[in-house]
Structure 1
Amino acid sequence: MSGLGMKRQAGEPASASVISPPEKKANIGGGDRVTSLMESIKLGGVASLEEMDMKVLQFRNRKLVERLEQRQAIEDELRERIEKLEKRQVTDDATLLIVNRHWAQLDENIQLLLRRLDGAMDSGGLSSQGPTGGEERERERGERGGSESRMSEGESESESQGESRDRGRTSDAAVSFLATLASSSSEEMELLLNERTKGSKEAVSRLVSSIESASHHMHFISASLNSQDSGKLQEGVLELNRELLAENGRLQEMTTYLHSRHHKMAMEYSEMQDRVTAAETKVSELETTVEDLQWEAEKLRRREQKLSKHLVEAMERVNSGVGVTSSYSNVHGGQITLNLQKFESLTAELEENKELANGRLAELEKLQQELQESVREGEKLKLELRSLPEEVVKETPEYRCLQSQFSVLYGESLQLKTQLGEARSLLSCTKNTQLRQIEHMESDELQLQKKLRTEVIQLEDALAQVRKEYEMLRIEFEQNLAANEQAGPINREMRHLISSLQNHNHQLKGEVLRYKRKLREAMSDLSKLKAQNAATASHGGSAPSQQSTQHPTEDTRKTEPSMAGTSEGALPGKREAALPGKREAAEDTTPSVAPQSSHHSHAPSGGKREKGSDTAGSSGTTGVEEEKEKEKERDRDREKDKDKDKEKERDKGSSTRDDDMKKKEVDTVKQLRAELKKSQESQKELRLLLDMYKAVPKEQRDRVAFMAAERRTKAELEELRGRIKELEENSRRESKRVAEEDAVRRIRGAEETIEHLQKKLAATKQVEAELAVVRRLEEKERLLQSSALTLEKELSLRSHALELHKRKAVEAAQQAEELRVGLDHSQGRMREAQVSVADTRAAREKESFNLKRAQEDISKLRRKVEKQKKVEVFANADEILMEEIKEYKVSKMSCKLTHDF
């Protein structure tokens, strides 16, 4: 509509000043004017200044429409912010009201408690100071009965009056509180809060002091009652106690009833107050909407006035234009028709605007009627809230929901009480069991301590005995050592002599047997030699010598295979076992010289009979000895075969040791060959000696035998001395060993005693560890007791938390109701906003439709005008060029105007 209103200024001159927008729009649009470069606009062909002004005004109207759209967007944003701030303020006010209400209720409860405690203290003081007679008791009973009847009669009146007063007070208090919050600054708010907190702190301190004084008073009364004679005051105290108990129970019932009633009334009052606040907010919102509508109505009126002014100016211009253009009617007949058409369109627009204004007025009247109706409904709701019966409140779903929540919470509290009782019973049971366990442990500990003491005493006694025994044994050992040192060498010498003599006897016996064997062998050899001598006596003197030389060679040949057999049989054995045997054979050969010489010396002195017997014995012995040698050779062959089999098995089992064994066998063969050579040389020497002994006389032989016996005795003496030394060393070793064994035995006994003592010490340490365990258990018991105390404290805290949760549940229900009211309020506002948005959308659609229609009409008229101008005015091409130049000039002027704008 603004665009159409601005079109009606086409009659103004081109040099007219730019029309400024309304004041409110200018203030909203911004402060400083920002110049911006704009593109050049082609207006097209312009016939006159009026058309140029129309085009300029159309361009201005477009720019104004854009600015208006920007302004409307900014207004929408600001409205959204204002709505958010209002919602936030409403929630803040609600929370502040809740806090203020609970704070005031806390102050009131503290004041009531203080009054009750002061009254109780006064009554207690009067009862303690005044006489305790029957008349006063009767008076008190009568007064109490009268007060009870008055209380019961005035309950209904006081409840109704109290509800109305409380509602009025709370509403006035809430309004005053919000007004003070709105009017006061932050510093004033802090001062008020500090004063209020100081007041509440003082009230709490007074309550605590009054409770302490009441407790002191009770202690004083109990002390005074205990100090007085029990026989005199017992009856009076019992009566007073009964009366006080009955009165206390009655007063507790009354207080519980009044508390429940007060709680119910407070809940109802809070609900009603919330509804009243919701209705007041609705009324305030409706008032704001009415103010907005009034402002819009004023706006429309101003616009209508401007349009009427523009219409009057347009009419004047049309009239002046008709007078001016009458002279040019013959030439420009089409212009008159155009002005008439414009006038008709303006009149039609004016009628439409009038119709719109009438419609807006009707809408405003309807809104005013709705506002009055809403105000009346709000007052009715206030009256209904003030006179709302309890049955209606009980039938409401919110009340039922709260009742169900309360029943659930009450059931949970009962369950928690039962759990608390079970926990207490468990605690008592655990305490009893712990005490019993502690008693048992203490008794066990005492028994163990007694046992430990007895065992320690026994161990100390045993230790003393062991020490005494050890000292005695030590003394005996020293004495034995001294005696052994004195008689030791004598015993050693005696033992050595006895052992040496026994060894000497054994050796002599062995030598005798050996000499007998050798004698037999020599006799057999002599018999053989005699037989050979007898057989070869006829042949000559040279033959016996050859035979005698051949005979020993044959003997050597016979001995060589025997020695070879022995050497081969001894090969697989050890080298150490073969060497001592050979040494003994060499020793046997050396002393055999004497018996042979003696035998040869005695042999010629004997007769022929002796020779015959000797030859027969020698032949028998030689035959037996040959059989024995054959059997020995067979045994040796068998042993060789066995040794070979064993060597094969060993070769199979241990292939790695073959090289070592071969080396050892080669070494043993070499040694045996060397020993064979030595034995052969010794045999040759012995034979030479035998030949010499045969030629030597008897005295020399005796001397030689005597010298050999001396040598033997000397060697035996040296051997006996060596053996005696060895025996002395052995005796010393044995004495040392015996002493060491005795010492080891005693040390073992001492170690056993030490081990026994260590075991006893371990037992004592174990007892100490058990005592430490007992101490730890005592510490654990203390910890369990402390944990039990903490559990009791936690149970009390949980019960307190239960009460707090109940209160919080009530507060949550209240907050839920408040939030529900706020949600209803917000939903109503949303609906209203949706309706207003739909209305604005419809109005904008209408305006856009009208603008499009107007633009279409203008474009049609412009085309018609251009066609008529081209047909009527432009007859030549030069004139057309001149007109285009004018259009360019007009476009330049329009650009300058846009820059200025």
Structure 2
Amino acid sequence: MTLRVAQLQDAVNSRDTENAELKNQIDDLQYELMKVRSRNDKLENHLAEAIEKLKSYHQSGASVSAAPTPGAAPHSAAASAKLEDIAAELEEQRELANNRLAELDRLHRQHRDTLKEVEKLKMDIRQLPESVIVETTEYKCLQSQFSVLYNESMQMKTALDETRLQLQNAKNLHMRQIEMMESEELARQKALRAEMIQLEDVLGQLRKEYEMLRIEFEQNLAANEQTGPINREMRHLITSLQNHNQQLKGEVHRYKRKYKDSSQELNKLRKEMEETAGRGTGAEASEEKPLAVKKEEPDPEGEEAGGAGAAGAACAAGAAEGKAGASKDHARAKLQEQEQLIKELKQQLKKAVNEQKELKLLLDMYKGVSKEQRDKVQLMAAERKARQELEDHRQKAKMAQESKRERRLADEDALRKIKQLEEQKYELQKQLSCARPSADPLHAFSRPFAGSQEEEALLNEMEVTGQAFEDMQEQNSRLIQQLREKDDANFKLMSERIKANSLHKLLREEKQLLQEQVLTRDQQIESMGLVARRLEEKERLLQATLSAVEKELLLRQQAMEMHKRKAIESAQSAADLKLHLEKYHAQMKEAQQVVAEKTSALEAEAYKTKRLHEELAILRRKAERMKKMEQAGSSMDEVLLEEIREYKETLTCPSCKVKRKDAVLTKCFHVFCWDCLRTRYETRQRKCPKCNAAFGANDYHRLYLST
């Protein structure tokens, strides 16, 4: 129905637009008609004036007929030619006016027909027949929607019956599930009670074992406290040994200086012996020189340590190398000490980080732990502390062992150097005894004898220091043995403690597992209770929805019955209205015919009146013009000059106002001069100066006016 109405509305709109276009055309034609009529009036005026002039000429010609002049004939011929031109132009204008009038009549008839059709369409839109409404797509869509909704209502009714059956079955199933859940809950409660009793027994056993382990830990802690003084004594002993070693090193340096002095004296003695040997026989000198040369080339390792009775130059070089070796040993010892210090600092940092972690863990544990568990944590912390102290003691013992080992190696190096020095001393003594001169025996034996006494004193001191060093080594070995025994005891205690800790950890894990099982059982019971409550809530919701659905069904049944009654009543009223509609349609058709006749008659009368008004205006203008012509009389030349000026203006170009019209635009048929159109085309102003219609190169042509 709405589609049909829209189509009719579109048709009405199109007819309205056509009507408006026709009105515009009528207005244009009327304007053209007015122009033609005004021009016709002008031509008629010109014609009347020409006739008057002709009459006056005739009168003047009659008056001067007695004396004709030679110039009168050409003047009358020109006037008659002009009069013929004006008459021809008048005929053309009359023909054009008749054509325009016929066109106006035709447009007027079309306008009346369109008005009739518009009125008819408006009436059709106001009162549409039932057949049109039934055939519309909207009506068909509504009909299909009604059928779909009716089918859906039937499906919902069947679904409601099915849901009722399902609800009843769900109720029965829910009751059975509740009974089963109650029986399962009772069985699980019994099993949980038995398991709780068993767990309490296990907990009692674990507490007893924990007490035993605590007592054992206290005993181990007391034993570790007893070993503290022994460790302190060991530290004091180690420090004393270190001091003694420092003293021995100082004595070794002092002995080196003494060796240097003795080597210098030995060089002096050699020089004196060479001088005495030069005074002796050549053979003895030749034998003693290579010996002296050989004595000046001792072993470099012996020269580093320095020994009593070595050669002078060789001993000096050995002393220098010994200093270099001592400085290298000193630098190496410093590097080792720095590395040891760095290791100790790293260990301390690691200990501090571990202690921080342990303290943080203890703090977190203290926050949410009971008193018994706090006591356990304190015991564990004390145990960890004791274990850490034991590790510290082990590290210190290892460091002491390493320092002892280094000292032993240093002492062994010193003993080896002493032995080398003794061997060099023995060789030097042999060389001195062999190279003793025969000329001056008193002078020769006086100095070596004094040197041998100093060497014996040095040897005695070295024997004393060696004996003390051996005693110190024996004492160190005893202390090391004691430390090893203590380490073994500590290792045994630690192994026992580790076993106890592992056992305690296993028991604690078992306890945690049992607690987790108890918690899971509790959670299962709670979840089952929640499920039961949810099922009860769901049952209540289903009952509520069922009651609501039943109420809604009753309401829908009542509404359906009411709609059925309304449908019957509406069908009866529709039949009555259909009869009334047919009667109204007949009346409407009669009224439409009457209206069409009246509108056509009215349009005809309006057209006639309009034409009469136009003729009246034309006649009035003619009368006024005739009056003016009568009043003007002698001013006919001025009127003609004005008309000539108007004609010239119409023939001049409206664009430049100078040149004559000699070109026309084929798009709009406006006339201009050729130069203006050419310049506008070349300057790309390609639009008509009057109507702005676009034109191209082939849209303007020459216009030739014939005279």
TM bin (shorter chain): 0.3 to 0.5
TM-score normalised by structure 1 residue count: 0.29
Which structure has more relative contact order (CA 8 Å, sep 6+)? It is: 1
